[in-house]
Amino acid sequence: QVQLVESGGGLVQAGGSLRLSCKFSGDIFTGYSMGWYRQAPGRQRELVASITRGSSPNYGDFVRDRFRISRDGARMTVYLQMNSLKPEDTGVYYCNAQRIVGLPETYWGQGTQVTVSS
């Protein structure tokens, strides 16, 4: 069973930075596309960034070069470096894993809260 454990969320002032981590376990890491999604109260979940081995990362339009996603195969961990944070970045950030070999499967972490104050 794939498990995703997020960490690194917290409270930060506008203009500050946070680095989120997502630890993957339970399957072969290279067989999955990894991503970060976020959800604010009353809003639908939206893509922040995703990364697939051998492909360029994808980013949501709102990122505007402020965020960077990366993955560490040795640690089976995906990171989201967030800089120049804005209040509208506030929400619960979820790690996502999508299997890209065999039958598709999708897994979600439990989320980590990011709060950006003015």
Each residue's pLDDT tens digit, 46-99 = 999 999 988 899 999 888 799 999 999 999 999 999 999 999 999 999 999 999
Q: Which of 79, 83, 59 is nearest to 70 (CA)?
A: 79
Q: Which residues pair with 46 in a beta bridge?
A: 38
Q: Which residue matches tokens 């399957």?
A: 27
Mention every residue, 6+ apart, whose C-beta is less than 8 A from residue 23: 4, 5, 7, 75, 76, 77
Decide if 30 contacts 76 (C-beta within 8 A).
no
Q: How far is the C-alpha of 36 from the C-alpha of 112, rounded, in Å?
A: 11
Tokens of 73: 């195969």
pLDDT per position as a tens digit, 19-44:
999 999 999 999 999 999 999 989 99
